[in-house]
């Protein structure tokens, strides 16, 4: 029988989907200290300005802010420290090969608990141009207007 694991979202990076075309996603583990996990359980995390780099065969996450745990005193780590992402070697090589192409980057999309483990969903992304972003905003406005119109019609 399949084991069901609960997934609880901690942080979502909406800005990444607006600024980039996400072409591929991967789930990665993350190396954390004990007080950081406790802080994440309280939902104290931000990945808005975060980005991922591959250095010396390791995947590193920069700019992820985990607030210090209030009862952690001396065990608290730097909130913006560089954190190592845990991936298989063949996944790292695949990502490194794709990043070597011009215009690709890796961005964190979500941080969540999967069972008792903290996972990060990372995406292989290509940057959007300004006109792509304008098109996205126009589409969102059209959808909002259509929903508003539909709601008004159903009330009458």
pLDDT one-digit tens code per residue, 34-93: 778 888 888 778 888 888 888 888 888 888 888 777 776 766 766 778 888 888 998 888
Instruction: Give the separation between CA 124 and CA 86, rounded to whole angstroms.
Output: 16
CATH architecture under which domain 7-127 falls: Beta Barrel (2.40)
Query: What pTM value is reported for the model?
Result: 0.72
| Residue whose C-alpha is closest to residue 121's, from 87, 75, 151, 144 | 87
């Amino acid at each position: 029988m399949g084991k069901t694991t609960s997934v609880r979202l901690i942080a979502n990076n909406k800005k990444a989907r607006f600024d980039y075309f996400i072409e591929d996603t991967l789930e990665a583990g993350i190396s954390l200290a004990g007080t950081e996990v406790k802080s994440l359980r309280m939902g104290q995390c931000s990945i808005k300005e975060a980005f991922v780099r591959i250095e010396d065969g390791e995947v590193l996450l920069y700019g992820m802010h985990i607030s210090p745990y209030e009862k952690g005193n001396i065990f608290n780590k730097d909130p913006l420290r560089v954190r190592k992402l845990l991936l298989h070697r063949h996944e790292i090589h695949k990502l490194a090969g794709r990043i070597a192409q011009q215009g690709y980057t890796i961005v964190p999309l979500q941080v969540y608990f999967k069972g008792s483990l903290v996972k990060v969903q990372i995406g292989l992304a290509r940057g959007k141009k300004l006109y792509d972003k304008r098109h996205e905003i126009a589409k969102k406005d059209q959808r909002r207007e259509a929903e508003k119109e539909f709601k008004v019609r159903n009330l009458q």
